[in-house]
Amino acid sequence: MSTTPKLSTKISAIAESATLKVDAKAKALQAQGRPVISYAAGEPDFATPAHIVEAAIAAARDTKNHRYTPAAGLPDLREAIAAKTLRDSGLAASASQVLVTNGGKQSVYEAFQVLLNPGDEVIVPTPYWTTYPEVIALADGVAVDVFADASQDYKVTVEQLEAARTDRTTVLLFVSPSNPTGAVYTPEETALIGRWALENNLWVITDEIYQNLTYSGAKAVSIVEAVPELAEQTLLVNGVAKTYAMTGWRVGWTVGPASVIKALANLQSHLSGNVNNIAQRAAIAALTGPQDDVDAMRQAFDRRRGVIVSELNKIEGFRTPTPEGAFYVYPDVSALLGREWGGVTPTTSLELADLILDQAEVATVPGEAFGPSGYLRFSYALGDEPLLEGVQRLQKLFG
């Protein structure tokens, strides 16, 4: 009797994206008619600004966009990204130092593929975005978690990083503003970490996808602006998804030393080839066109941030630091564990999230997706009314 051939061990070990899994479950319940409110997806609820959509429509009618284009990206878009990088990250880069990718996620994946050899260690400040450990493993690297809790506003220190460093450490991952916590490192904190990476001759991958979403006067200073000498050993990952409500358009990019970008482009030439030309044209319009809609969305997120932090902190057992960036809050809910709620006694935040979905019809992502248990991630990138109603359901459940 024959057996089915085995799959790749490496691929079989990959865990499904926890955020996408929870969001899919919430949408399935909504399709069944249940009034589920989901805080799971890191996705703005706004439409992509109209001038960007119009640029895409025009591009679709232009036959030159119906053909293959350079794998590294359209020259005009690479120029626009270089200008954006100078404006927002303080780094003067040429178009040859830019690679356009199918979303920031592809940039992250490719960066680790190009920088890591088997057994190389990557220091990963924790809580982390759920995808990082998986793509590090796919590159045969080893993720080394460095955890900072709510008492540190979820920001790691140089002392913690140094304690985690070994002779196998090759890459530091740096993310500010953070997904899942919304934490933003101060310019001074960023400079200290950057100088530490420079002194220890580490590559840095800095994920700047949320850099334009900061509040209360905070600025997410790029690590290469804080420590300019670090530019020759840093890859900057970014994209249009969050700032311009373009998650479905799938346009991201990597900026870095020309030699590394060449290696990344070689990989991408075999992996996917060029990014969809229509989406690339839309991204040019996003980066070079009016920014009024961006400002309006950021103001809406800021307003929602105030509401969700205030309302969650009314619940005994929720400890919710005020985030300064992105569109997430990350309350410590460990005080709710080991207690009975509606006949159920959750002992982990995974069990607590299941309880909340079953009894309050509210979807959140448990801390296990981002590191240690005891936390929940809420995205406030949803409408004002459902945002408030969902928290009020939790107030009733835990009241």
According to DSSP, residue 331 is labeled -
- pLDDT, residue 194, reads 98
Say yes or no to pLDDT of 1 above 70.
no
Our measurement of the distance from residue 117's CA atom to the centroid of its chain's CA atoms, rounded to an integer in Å, reads 24
- pLDDT, residue 11, reads 87
As a whole number of angstroms, the distance between CA 116 and CA 102 comes to: 21
pLDDT confidence bin for 19, thresholds 50/70/90: confident
Each residue's pLDDT tens digit, 152-177:
999 999 999 999 999 999 999 999 99
- pLDDT, residue 396, reads 97
As a whole number of angstroms, the distance between CA 177 and CA 319 comes to: 20
Alpha helices in 45-102 (DSSP H): 50-61, 75-89
Type and span of the H or E element at 349: helix 349-360
Are 174 and 136 in contact by the 8 Å Cβ rule? The answer is no
Average pLDDT over residues 340-369: 94
Average pLDDT over residues 87-111: 98
Average pLDDT over residues 5-18: 85
| Residue 236: strand pairing partners | 206, 255
The pTM of the full predicted model, rounded to 2 decimals, is 0.95
As a whole number of angstroms, the distance between CA 45 and CA 380 comes to: 9
- What's the sign of the alpha-carbon dihedral 200, 201, 202, 205? positive
What amino acid is encoded at 316 in this protein?
E
Tokens standing for residue 2: 């024959």
Whether the link from the prior residue into 177 is cis, omega within 30° of 0, is yes
- pLDDT, residue 2, reads 64
As a whole number of angstroms, the distance between CA 304 and CA 288 comes to: 28
